[in-house]
């Protein structure tokens, strides 16, 4: 995060008031915690804006807060009266504090949001599922600009339009734009190597500038029309196309008129999928909160260039003692920590620090930002629509959660767990005849698949025989649980900044392995060697003829068993296994594709793209280069005697 504060104006302070041994934390540390510990900081705290962190005896961050006056805010924690149960518990657990002073309260708000997202403290409102949003990019780093979906840092030259709520919304829009404006979507490398138009040209979704099917000037006009449409002037573009269609029709050029007709239909298709397009709101994000049954949903709508570019539901984690306005305020600061800010932000609830948030977002965006809670007019209608969506999304989630809880209870019963699992890890391997082997781990919990916690393992042991699934599984399990043991080592849970959180190294309640008795024995053996006990492991062997529904389940100390074909737990375990299989195959294909682009010449020091190209042109292949003699290598343009000797020595294992 970039704060607009000179480095000299940011300072940090830390005082250790408790000498404790994390291994011996038994609750007695609470006697040394709380108001007395906090009071010791008041002597050195300045009356300036800043951010404070409250830590427990293990060095874990309990809470991150901001303050206009750090001294006054911390002083309020030195007495136990007048606090909610949540705050009182937090004070009692506090054994240490850290402080960062800032130049202004707005800077403190931005820094607080950044720390909450990174540290995920127990007593804060925490934004979850914070994936980046996709954009449409018209890349202008080529004579014939390309249209594509973009996610991540916006460092490529071109025009960005978004954010869109989902990748699906972007893909649908790009498909329609290709039909309407015929822009190319292929990569520059594919473009440069085309000798004839591709299939997209045949189905009238690309004008094929790669083979000069369209003049450069005409293609530039299509690019500008696309930019005009995405900038919100859709009626201008449609009106112009309608005029051209009518002119072509009057001239009896019905084929050209049909092309214009199809382009108009494609633009209408985009607008039909956008729902409500407001008249008075050109650029805004709308946030609406709904709370029920102890759960919270915040629905976000994105309006850009007067068009609705989709919505997304968030379900932040918050204690029940938090007020709705407080939850929305904390959510907003975290939401915009790494996202561009629109000119207007519309809210369903008036938040306490609305003016401060507006100031902070204005600082972050380099332009005037308005944060409003509309009471009437079209803006109020848009907020009301977002609130209805938030309520419906929360109702759906609560219904799904209830059925999922029942499913988790079934998992616990069938696999002899003491309680419904909070974390299930599923493992699978993928390779083709032993080449490019990959181990994959997917994770599931009460809220579904946790894709940000998936992991892939490139098999590193060169002694493993190709296709030896047992050895591959042994390496994956050893690496995974050795690391988990290190992450949960009490000596490592406390560090200088208290960044290590309990959730970062969460233990699974259940392991599911794609395989039979052999894989189960292999995993149990590895866990035994690492000293890990009481961890339930289940292997799923495909049924006869690999038929779904006839799987056999294997567990230690228990005979193999099957589940009823209509048992929901069977369907769920199949989904888990299939997801692990999908992820493993996808990771394997990505590794294999990357390896295809490598050349033995890349491993030689001093061989760059130019020399590599000269060698391949001269000899035809890297294999031919490896077989060539010194004299032949010296004959290549750009290869001197020293480099020729380096190449020769590399392929003939000659060391200096």
Tell me whether residue 478 is exposed, middle or buried, using C-beta atoms within 10 angstroms of its C-beta: 0 to 12, 13 to 18, 19 or more.
Answer: middle
Crossing angle between the packed helical segments 324-335 and 354-365, to the nearest 10 degrees: 10
Can you state the angle between helices 167-181 and 216-230, rounded to 10 degrees?
Answer: 140
Positions of E strands within 494-574:
510-514, 536-541, 552-555, 558-561
Report the alpha-carbon distance of residue 621 to residue 640 in Å, rounded.
19
Please give the full DSSP string across 190-204, using - where no structure is assigned: HHHT-SS--HHHHTT
Say what the pLDDT of residue 224 is: 87
- Structure tokens, 331: 């959510």
Q: Identify the three-state secondary structure at position 323.
A: coil
Q: The tokens of 361 are what? A: 């977002």
Q: Which two tokens stand for residue 386?
A: 């977002």
Could you please report the per-residue DSSP string of 159-201?
EEE---S-HHHHHHHHHHHHHHH----S-HHHHHT-SS--HHH
Could you tell me the strand order of the sheet in which 284-292 lies?
307-314, 295-304, 284-292, 344-347, 370-372
Average pLDDT per block of 10 residues along the chain, 656 residues long: 35 40 41 75 86 88 90 86 83 88 86 85 78 84 90 84 78 81 86 87 87 90 84 67 76 74 68 58 89 86 80 84 87 84 91 88 85 89 89 82 83 91 91 74 86 86 77 90 79 41 67 90 92 90 67 89 86 89 84 66 78 82 82 86 85 63
pTM over 0.75: no
What's the CA gap between 207 and 624, in Å, rounded? Answer: 41
Q: Which domains does the chain have, with CATH numbers?
A: 7-119 (3.40.1440.10), 135-272 (no CATH), 284-396 (3.30.420.340), 424-594 (3.30.420.340), 600-651 (1.10.150.20)
Cα–Cα distance list, 609 to 141, 603, 614, 624 (Å): 21, 12, 9, 18
- Calpha distance 501→492 (Å, rounded): 11
Whether 467 and 436 have beta carbons less than 8 Å apart is answered as no
Residue closest to 471 by CA, chosen among 442, 530, 431: 431
CA separation for the pair 280, 376 (Å, rounded): 13
DSSP string, 5-32: S-GGG-EEEEE------GGG-SSGGGGG
DSSP category for residue 78:
G
- Say what the pLDDT of residue 270 is: 59
Rounded to whole angstroms, the Cα distance separating 341 from 339 reads 6
- Tokens representing 60 are 């874990």
């Amino acid at each position: 995060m970039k704060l607009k504060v000179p480095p000299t104006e940011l300072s940090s302070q830390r005082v250790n008031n408790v000498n404790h041994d994390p291994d011996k934390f038994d609750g007695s540390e609470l006697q040394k915690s709380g108001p007395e510990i906090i009071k010791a900081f008041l002597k050195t705290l300045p009356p300036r804006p800043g951010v404070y962190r409250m830590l427990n005896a293990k060095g874990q961050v309990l809470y991150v807060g901001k303050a206009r006056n750090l001294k006054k805010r911390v002083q309020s924690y030195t007495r136990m009266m007048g606090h909610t149960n949540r705050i009182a518990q937090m004070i009692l657990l506090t054994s240490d504090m850290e402080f960062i002073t800032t130049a202004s309260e707005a800077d403190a708000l931005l820094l607080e949001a950044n720390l909450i997202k990174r540290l995920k403290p127990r007593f804060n409102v925490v934004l979850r599922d914070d994936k980046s949003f996709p954009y449409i990019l018209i890349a202008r780093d080529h004579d014939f600009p390309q249209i594509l979906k973009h996610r991540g840092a916006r460092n490529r030259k071109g025009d960005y339009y978004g954010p869109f709520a989902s990748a699906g919304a972007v893909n649908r829009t790009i498909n329609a734009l290709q039909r309407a404006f015929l822009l190319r979507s292929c990569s520059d490398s594919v473009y440069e190597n085309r000798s004839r138009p591709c299939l997209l040209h045949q189905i009238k979704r690309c004008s094929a500038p790669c083979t000069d099917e369209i003049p450069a000037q005409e293609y530039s006009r299509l690019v500008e029309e696309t930019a005009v449409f995405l900038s919100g002037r859709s009626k201008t573009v449609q009106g112009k196309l309608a005029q051209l269609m009518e002119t072509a029709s009057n001239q009896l050029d019905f084929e050209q008129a049909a092309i214009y007709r199809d382009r108009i239909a494609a633009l209408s298709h985009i607008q039909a999928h956008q729902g409500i397009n407001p008249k008075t709101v050109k650029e805004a994000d709308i946030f609406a909160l709904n709370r029920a049954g102890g759960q919270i949903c915040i629905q976000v709508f994105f309006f850009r260039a007067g068009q609705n570019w989709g919505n997304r539901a968030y379900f932040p984690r918050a204690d029940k003692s938090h007020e709705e306005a407080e939850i929305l305020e904390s959510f907003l600061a975290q939401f915009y920590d790494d996202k561009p800010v629109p000119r207007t932000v519309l809210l369903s609830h008036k938040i306490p620090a609305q003016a401060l948030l507006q100031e902070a977002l204005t600082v972050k965006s380099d332009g005037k930002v308005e944060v409003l809670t509309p009471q009437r007019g079209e803006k109020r209608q848009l907020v009301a629509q977002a609130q209805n969506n938030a309520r419906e999304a929360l109702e759906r989630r609560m219904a799904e959660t209830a059925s999922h809880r029942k499913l988790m209870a079934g998992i616990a019963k069938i696999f002899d767990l003491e309680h419904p699992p909070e974390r299930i890890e599923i493992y699978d391997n993928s390779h083709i005849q032993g080449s490019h082997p990959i181990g994959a781990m997917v994770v599931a919990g009460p809220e579904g698949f946790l894709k940000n916690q998936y992991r892939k393992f490139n098999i590193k042991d060169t002694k493993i025989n190709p296709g030896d699934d047992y050895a591959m599984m042994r390496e994956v399990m050893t690496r995974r649980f050795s690391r988990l043991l290190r992450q949960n080592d009490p000596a490592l849970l406390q560090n200088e900044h208290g960044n290590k959180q309990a959730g970062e190294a969460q233990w699974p309640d259940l392991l599911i392995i794609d395989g039979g008795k052999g894989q189960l024995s292999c995993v149990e053996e590895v866990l035994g060697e690492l000293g890990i006990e009481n961890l339930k492991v289940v292997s799923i062997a495909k049924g006869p003829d690999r038929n779904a529904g006839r799987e056999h389940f294997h567990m230690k100390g228990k005979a193999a068993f099957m589940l009823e074909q209509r048992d929901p737990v069977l369907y769920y375990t199949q989904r888990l296994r299939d997801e692990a299989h999908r992820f493993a195959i996808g990771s394997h294909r990505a590794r294999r594709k990357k390896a295809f682009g490598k050349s033995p010449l890349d491993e030689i020091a001093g061989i760059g793209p130019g020399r590599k190209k000269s060698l391949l042109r001269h000899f035809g292949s890297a294999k031919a280069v490896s077989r060539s003699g010194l004299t032949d290598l010296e004959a290549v343009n750009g290869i001197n005697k020293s480099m020729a000797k380096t190449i020769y020595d590399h392929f003939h294992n000659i060391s200096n």
